[in-house]
A and B are shown apart, each in its own frame.
Chain A
Amino acid sequence: MTKSKGSIKAAFVVAFMVCLAEIPATAQTAAARPATINLPRTADGKPNFNGIWQVLNTAASDIQDHSGQLGMPPGQGVVEGGEIPYQPQALAKKRENLANRLTADPTEARCFLPGVPRATYMPYPFEIVQTPDSMAIRYEFAHALRMIPVNGSKHAEGIPPTWMGDSRGHWEGDTLVVDVANFNDQTWFDHAGNFHSDALHVVERYTMTNPDHVLYEATIEDPKVFTRTWKMSMPLYRRVDKNVKLLEYECVFYLQEERYKNAPFK
């Protein structure tokens, strides 16, 4: 009896150590995600991004490091390397935007569509809708919407510039890569006045690191405004609340209700 008890204890120790060996180290980059994390997958074998996601940072206020102020929580920046490489005349424009942001921020002051990637890190949830040929992202903020064909199609030609860009997706292994072009120059990257021109080109990468987290990276290219490409990155967190559902934040409607409540004026 004593001998078999010892054998069972040894078996548990070995089994426990095998399990420990399979637990990945915490600081993993996307490329080094161990194959043993089992992601939810769709019928066509891709990581299943369907669901509601949201950021937990304050990039919408300022994508760079910022201290707290009344009404604005502090945040560590999402810009890799910290610097946004403005051309000199563009830096002056950023400073002017910052000074005028209460009336000049197209999204906060006027409820215009936030563009990409700002829509990702607005402090509102968004829903990824994924099918094999076609994806969409529905944003609670201002019911912004992006359609993302994943069918090998190229950017549309001969259409006017857009607020949310023309998105075309493809897979690189388990990473969803979305190429976004044909922007207008009407959106800002944040409430701190960081901005772009109509030459903006964004490449997003969505990499699911475990079932409830996505590493989101956005490479920014705009030869009219910046001296080189630069990149933002941040985690997306799955909203696992019971019965969670995207609701409506009808920014334009609320703004109209406030500004025109005593209409007519003339």
Chain B
Amino acid sequence: MKTAAVLIAIMLLASTASAQSATSAPVKASTSARLSDGQPNMQGLYTRSGVKALEAEPPFNPIDPGDKNPLSVSNRGDGLGPYPRIFGEGGNVLRGQQARVQRPTGIIFPADKKLPWRPEEDAKRRQYLLDMNPPKDLRHIELNSRCALPGLFEGEDGNNPYTILQPPGQVVILYDYNHTSRAIDLNRREHLGKNIRLFMGDSIGHWEGNTLVVDTTNFNGRVAYSREIPYLSEDLHTVERFTVVNENTIDYEVTIEDPKLFTGPWKVAGAFARASKDVESLEFACAEGSQTLQNIFGTPPAR
């Protein structure tokens, strides 16, 4: 009977212990420097800047919104401009606190901004751009116009904020832009199998001090880097570094490797600035994705 008492006592102790941990004092995680799983706390609403930048000697771009370009959509003269400005193409408008500008941003390697294109691939993409306006076929329409997921580089600098949430074991980035989201898994070490292809890729990450290092593969070969680089291939592999500089600033750097298109890696730098109090996250449904193609190509045959 002594053994029975010990067994019952053990079971009662076990359930009491769990109840105690459940009712221990709650942690107000949102303002502390470290979260419950040890991650540096960079949660909040941010605007991004600097990531999208022109390479040296950019190709002629018939989609360019510049007023000087007679082919640009804002000069169509049919009342559909200033379409690009509505979507914030006019520049980096930071509604939040000003990010530090001391660091170089945009393409930082190679320093001369001449990207290491494979010559035949550079020639292909220059022709591809010419075939985008007027568009030769569906493939030559910008993904932004189709409301497709933007990948890591598009998604708006300045006009559509980003929300960072950090539940245990993850960093989740929510874009206002086209209601996009990325979940960066801190506990997984292997990427998805090579036959799963995603616009946003598959991201796994780990912290090195105050820097979140994110490795992403499994892209689908359709996402753009910018207007002038309208696609990166399925072989794209990126390594991003998000460095928490202070409570209002995250420095951002991404190394882009795409051996199909380039002979070597290149690097881009930018920053996230914590948004000011009047900036709100709003729904960006992108329902136009279902109408734009009809405007461009005409009504498709009935299903």
Q: Mark A29-64, 1 if CB is under 8 A from B, else 0.
A: 000000110110111110000100000000000000
Check B26–A131 contact: CB distance below 8 A.
no
The CB with the most chain A CB atoms within 10 A, among B23, B43, B283, B298, is that of B283
A261 and B300 alpha carbons, distance in the complex (Å): 9
* A70 at the B interface (CB under 8 A): no
Apart from A11-B3, A18-B8, 7 more pairs, CB < 8 Å: A44-B27, A44-B29, A131-B30, A134-B163, A147-B174, A250-B149, A250-B199
A215 and B196 alpha carbons, distance in the complex (Å): 32
Q: Contacts of B86 on A, CB cut-off 8 Å?
A: none
Check B183–A131 contact: CB distance below 8 A.
no
* B299 at the A interface (CB under 8 A): yes
Instruction: Check A36/B297 contact, CB under 8 A, given A44-B27, A110-B290, A131-B29.
Output: no
Check B4–A45 contact: CB distance below 8 A.
no
Chosen A-B contacts, 19 in total, with CB atoms closer than 8 Å, are: A14-B8, A15-B7, A39-B22, A42-B36, A44-B29, A45-B24, A50-B170, A110-B290, A112-B287, A113-B285, A132-B28, A136-B174, A243-B192, A245-B183, A245-B192, A250-B148, A253-B146, A264-B296, A265-B301
Check B299–A265 contact: CB distance below 8 A.
yes
Check A147–B26 contact: CB distance below 8 A.
no
Check B4–A11 contact: CB distance below 8 A.
yes
A8 and B289 alpha carbons, distance in the complex (Å): 72
Check B289–A256 contact: CB distance below 8 A.
yes
Q: Contacts of B229 on A, CB cut-off 8 Å?
A: none
A50 and B166 alpha carbons, distance in the complex (Å): 11
**Contacting residues of chain A (115-160) with chain B, CB-CB under 8 angstroms:** 127, 129-134, 136, 138, 143-145, 147, 156, 159
Check A245–B185 contact: CB distance below 8 A.
yes
Q: List residues of chain A with CB under 8 Å of any chain B CB.
A: 7-8, 10-12, 14-15, 18-19, 22, 35-36, 38-39, 41-45, 50, 103, 110-113, 127, 129-134, 136, 138, 143-145, 147, 156, 159, 162-164, 243, 245-248, 250, 252-253, 255-257, 259-266
Q: Contacts of A103 on B, CB cut-off 8 Å?
A: 303
A43 and B21 alpha carbons, distance in the complex (Å): 10
Q: How many residues of B contact A (CB 8 A)?
A: 66
* B213 at the A interface (CB under 8 A): no
Check B290–A145 contact: CB distance below 8 A.
no
In the complex formed, the residue of A with least CB distance to B218 is A247
* B271 at the A interface (CB under 8 A): no
* B255 at the A interface (CB under 8 A): no
Q: Contacts of B181 on A, CB cut-off 8 Å?
A: 136, 138, 143, 145
A43 and B188 alpha carbons, distance in the complex (Å): 22
Instruction: Check A266/B297 contact, CB under 8 A, given A129-B172, A136-B165, A147-B174.
Output: yes
Q: Contacts of A147 on B, CB cut-off 8 Å?
A: 163, 174, 281
In the complex formed, the residue of A with least CB distance to B182 is A138
Check B138–A256 contact: CB distance below 8 A.
yes
A113 and B15 alpha carbons, distance in the complex (Å): 44
In the assembled complex, the CB of A241 is this many whole angstroms from the nearest CB of chain B, namely 13
Residue in B15, B35, B146, B200 whose CB lies within 8 Å of A248: B200
Main secondary structure of the interface of A (DSSP, over half): loop
Check A143–B180 contact: CB distance below 8 A.
yes
Q: Contacts of A259 on B, CB cut-off 8 Å?
A: 293, 300-301, 303
Q: Mark B96-128, 1 if CB is under 8 A from A, else 0.
A: 000000000000000000000000000000000
Check B179–A42 contact: CB distance below 8 A.
no
In the complex formed, the residue of A with least CB distance to B222 is A253
Check B29–A144 contact: CB distance below 8 A.
no
Q: Contacts of B7 on A, CB cut-off 8 Å?
A: 11-12, 14-15
| Among all A-B residue pairs, the 3 with the closest Cβ atoms | A11-B4, A266-B298, A43-B36
Q: Contacts of B282 on A, CB cut-off 8 Å?
A: 159
Check B15–A129 contact: CB distance below 8 A.
no
In the complex formed, the residue of A with least CB distance to B202 is A245
Q: Mark B176-198, 1 if CB is under 8 A from A, else 0.
A: 00111101010010001000101
Q: Contacts of A131 on B, CB cut-off 8 Å?
A: 29-30, 43, 165-167
**Contacting residues of chain B (149-183) with chain A, CB-CB under 8 angstroms:** 149, 163, 165-168, 170, 172, 174, 178-181, 183
In the assembled complex, the CB of B22 is this many whole angstroms from the nearest CB of chain A, namely 5
Check B1–A45 contact: CB distance below 8 A.
no
**Contacting residues of chain B (1-39) with chain A, CB-CB under 8 angstroms:** 1-4, 7-8, 11, 15, 18-19, 21-24, 26-30, 35-36
Q: Mark B124-139, 1 if CB is under 8 A from A, else 0.
A: 0000000000010110
Q: Contacts of A15 on B, CB cut-off 8 Å?
A: 4, 7-8, 11
In the complex formed, the residue of A with least CB distance to B18 is A38
* B239 at the A interface (CB under 8 A): no
In the complex formed, the residue of B with least CB distance to A257 is B138
Instruction: Check A18/B11 contact, CB under 8 A, given A247-B196, A264-B137, A265-B297.
Output: yes
Q: Contacts of A44 on B, CB cut-off 8 Å?
A: 26-29
* B280 at the A interface (CB under 8 A): yes
The CB with the most chain B CB atoms within 10 A, among A7, A11, A41, A159, is that of A11
